[in-house]
Amino acid sequence: MAATLDANSTLEEKPRFEYTSPTVADPEKDAINFKFTGLDGISDVITTSSSADTFTVSVDRTLITATNIGIYSLTVNMGDKITESSVVSKIDIEL
């Protein structure tokens, strides 16, 4: 598994890898909604969650097998309303 981290991040060898996004803010101060797509068939290994202003992607390293090794493209739509023009973050996760 590969991870690209900024200069202030560290990667520890633990059974679970977690990435938490930077804080998301809505200019009108509306609640932020998150929609995750692209993890069909691998959602037991890679999980997602969100809070009011961040999202988290977790990888359970203990569940990585020869059959699920590959690159998975996660798309995160975020905004006060999830539409085609919502803000999108694309994350490639390589197992």
Tens digit of each residue's pLDDT (9 = 90 or more) over 50-84 = 999 999 999 999 999 999 999 999 999 998 888 77
Q: At a CB cut-off of 8 Å and minimum separation 6, what does 90 contact?
A: 73, 74, 75, 76
pTM to 2 decimal places: 0.79
CATH 2.60.40 fits 16-94, yes or no: yes
- Between 57 and 25, whose confidence is greater? 57
DSSP code string of 20-37: EPPPP--TT-PPPEEEEE
Q: Apex CA 3: angle with CA 78 and CA 71, to 5°?
A: 75
Q: Is the pLDDT of residue 24 over 50?
A: yes
Reported confidence tier of residue 1, pLDDT bands at 50, 70, 90: very low
Q: What's the pLDDT at 14?
A: 82
